[in-house]
Chains A and B, each alone.
Chain A
Amino acid sequence: MTALLTLSARNLMRRHDDRLVVNDVSLELRHGEVLGLLGHNGAGKSTTLQMLTGALPPHSGQIEVCGFDLKQQPQQAKSCIGFLPEHPPLYRDMRVDDYLLYVARLHRVPSGKLAAALNQAKQRCGLHDCGKKLVGTLSKGYQQRVGIAQAIIHNPAVVVLDEPTVGLDPAQIRDIRALIRELGNSSSVILSTHMLNEVESLCDRVLILKQGRLIYSGSSAEMLGNGNMEEAFMQITENKAASA
């Protein structure tokens, strides 16, 4: 079974000063797939995700989203993506409803469908009681939820989440994971995380980055093998370090 390709990136390269932060990374994402991006701190996960969403231009390489080239047709490509960056881009002085509606308008949700989109996003992220509250007065966990809500309010084909469950309490983590699973059915999701059990329970496929290079790509079941995720992860990253 080959589902529709929603996102493909080829030979992405990004330098910071003289250091290669992302080095020749290629990846593909199909409809209905949840892809986990793993790696130590500073491995280039966030940079890769930013490039996939058009927030950061790659020095070289090509990105296609839903068949649109991100460089040639940025507006069409970007309207297929929802992005939660590492730091949720929240305006602290706006009310949750106003903020989400603003984001929906930026993503060209037609005005007749705004109210429905707002309600669905709030309901999916457990924000129904927070509409009138100022974003800045919410707790970190709720701000993270607003961040996720802004990424999915326009029902994008590709959802990119940079550490979506960081700073959440266990009950919230459970809810957000359920949401990601739900999103995985209707669209495709890429998420970066440090929590290996999250990968185990959510992701169909796993990519591991180390010092900007892609060192592993396979299904999470393969990676898990017979052992546990943590061991497998350590083994892969250590082995590559030894052979490098």
Chain B
Amino acid sequence: MILTIAKKEFRSLFAAPSTWWMLALLQFLFAWFYFGRMDDYLQVQAQLAQLDNAPGATISIAAPLCSVLALMLMMLIPLFTMRLIAEERRNQTWVLLLAAPVPAAHIVLGKFLGLMLLLVLIVMGAAALLATLLLGTHADIGLMLADILGVLLLAATYAALGLYFSALSKQPLVAAAGALGLSFGLWLLELGASDNRSYLRAISPNAHFQNLNMGLVNSADLAYFALVIATLLWLTIRQLNDERDRAA
């Protein structure tokens, strides 16, 4: 049942022209940044080469690109998640799922998985671009993989957050604005944190992403993402169950 819903959501997301526009725009921006970073790197490469233990092409090009991608995904994902539940309510198709013999958990996991398939595709598009570094240099594959893992985990967190807001609202735009507002707030938390050990950093998903972004795969960060995603999905399921049971 989860897979049935996931497949349908994936296909529906793909059927919307707006998705294609977003994908095209995202890939274009990403390529733009890629060449920009490449250009910068080539200009300072000669000076870098004189340093001991100089930063390589991967950390100078791929890592910043992945932070840019993370930021772009933060802004885009609420636009996808708002469609998943809030828009179904507005279009009065939600009743189909309510009257079908499908538990709320399957609905939520199915929708989350469907969106994740699309997000994986987006990240793979970006990864393919990064892989072109391999053509010209000895790229640090471990760092790249950590980066991609980080972007995926961060995207999954934003997707779970967006899904929760989508479940709270009947208005797609309110759901999108709420999710974007909170994602942005969490991102700012990281900027606002005074030092590395601040608890603000511990809350912000972006801070945990930055470790992966630098190639540091830390079990604490992985646990953080797993916990946050699971909690948000659980909250979403609870919200839907409450709505079904609470006769309000």
The reply to whether B99 and A94 form a contact with Cβ atoms under 8 Å apart is: no
A54-B8 Cα distance, complex, nearest whole Å: 23
Q: Is B92 an interface residue (CB 8 A)?
A: yes
Q: Is B195 an interface residue (CB 8 A)?
A: no
Most A-side CB within 10 Å, residue of B11, B16, B102: B102
Q: Is A78 an interface residue (CB 8 A)?
A: yes
The reply to whether B16 and A90 form a contact with Cβ atoms under 8 Å apart is: no
The reply to whether B95 and A85 form a contact with Cβ atoms under 8 Å apart is: yes
A89-B97 Cα distance, complex, nearest whole Å: 9
* Stretch from A35-43, A55-63, A165-173, A174-182 that touches the partner: A55-63
Q: Is A76 an interface residue (CB 8 A)?
A: yes
Kindly identify, within residues 79 to 135 of chain A, every residue whose CB is under 8 Å from any CB belonging to chain B: 79, 81, 83, 85, 87, 89-94, 98, 102-103, 105-108
The reply to whether B96 and A50 form a contact with Cβ atoms under 8 Å apart is: no
The reply to whether B99 and A78 form a contact with Cβ atoms under 8 Å apart is: yes
Choice from A75, A77, A106 contacting B97 with Cβ under 8 Å: A106
The reply to whether A108 and B101 form a contact with Cβ atoms under 8 Å apart is: yes
Choice from B5, B12, B95, B247 contacting A93 with Cβ under 8 Å: B12
- Residues in A whose Cβ lies below 8 Å from that of B100: 78, 103, 106-107
Query: How many Å from the CB of A109 to the closest CB on chain B?
Result: 11
Q: Is A145 an interface residue (CB 8 A)?
A: no
A87-B90 Cα distance, complex, nearest whole Å: 12
Q: Is B49 an interface residue (CB 8 A)?
A: no
Kindly identify, within residues 1 to 60 of chain B, every residue whose CB is under 8 Å from any CB belonging to chain A: 1, 4-5, 8, 11-12, 15-16
The reply to whether A103 and B101 form a contact with Cβ atoms under 8 Å apart is: no
Query: How many Å from the CB of A104 to the closest CB on chain B?
Result: 10
Name the residue on A nearest B8 (C-beta): A102
The reply to whether A50 and B95 form a contact with Cβ atoms under 8 Å apart is: yes
The reply to whether A89 and B95 form a contact with Cβ atoms under 8 Å apart is: yes
Q: Is B98 an interface residue (CB 8 A)?
A: yes
Q: Is B94 an interface residue (CB 8 A)?
A: yes
Q: Is A150 an interface residue (CB 8 A)?
A: yes
A176-B59 Cα distance, complex, nearest whole Å: 66
Task: Bits for B188-217, please: 1 = Cβ < 8 Å to A, else 0.
Answer: 000000000000000000000000000000
The reply to whether B99 and A54 form a contact with Cβ atoms under 8 Å apart is: yes
Name the residue on B nearest A108 (C-beta): B101
Query: How many Å from the CB of B243 to the closest CB on chain A?
Result: 9
Q: Evaluate whether A75 and B245 lie within 8 angstroms (CB atoms) in the complex, with A89-B92, A102-B4, A103-B96 already known.
A: no
Most A-side CB within 10 Å, residue of B5, B15, B98: B98
The reply to whether A75 and B98 form a contact with Cβ atoms under 8 Å apart is: no
Most A-side CB within 10 Å, residue of B5, B16, B244, B246: B244
Q: Evaluate whether A105 and B92 lie within 8 angstroms (CB atoms) in the complex, with A53-B99, A57-B245 already known.
A: no
- Residues in B whose Cβ lies below 8 Å from that of A108: 1, 101
The reply to whether A74 and B12 form a contact with Cβ atoms under 8 Å apart is: no
A75-B102 Cα distance, complex, nearest whole Å: 6
The reply to whether A55 and B95 form a contact with Cβ atoms under 8 Å apart is: yes
Q: Is B93 an interface residue (CB 8 A)?
A: yes
Query: How many Å from the CB of A83 to the closest CB on chain B?
Result: 5
A120-B91 Cα distance, complex, nearest whole Å: 27
Kindly identify, within residues 78 to 115 of chain B, every residue whose CB is under 8 Å from any CB belonging to chain A: 91-103
Name the residue on A nearest B96 (C-beta): A89
Q: Is A14 an interface residue (CB 8 A)?
A: yes
Query: How many Å from the CB of B226 to the closest CB on chain A?
Result: 28
- Residues in A whose Cβ lies below 8 Å from that of B244: 57
The reply to whether B101 and A74 form a contact with Cβ atoms under 8 Å apart is: yes
The reply to whether B92 and A85 form a contact with Cβ atoms under 8 Å apart is: yes
Name the residue on B nearest A53 (C-beta): B99
The reply to whether A150 and B96 form a contact with Cβ atoms under 8 Å apart is: yes
The reply to whether B12 and A58 form a contact with Cβ atoms under 8 Å apart is: no
A57-B97 Cα distance, complex, nearest whole Å: 14
Contacts A77-B101, A85-B99 given; 14 further ones with Cβ under 8 A? A55-B98, A75-B101, A75-B102, A75-B103, A78-B100, A87-B92, A89-B93, A90-B93, A102-B8, A106-B4, A106-B96, A106-B102, A107-B101, A108-B101
Report A's interface with B, CB cutoff 8 A: 14-15, 50, 53-59, 74-79, 81, 83, 85, 87, 89-94, 98, 102-103, 105-108, 150
Top 5 A-B pairs ranked by shortest CB distance? A89-B96, A78-B101, A79-B101, A106-B100, A89-B93
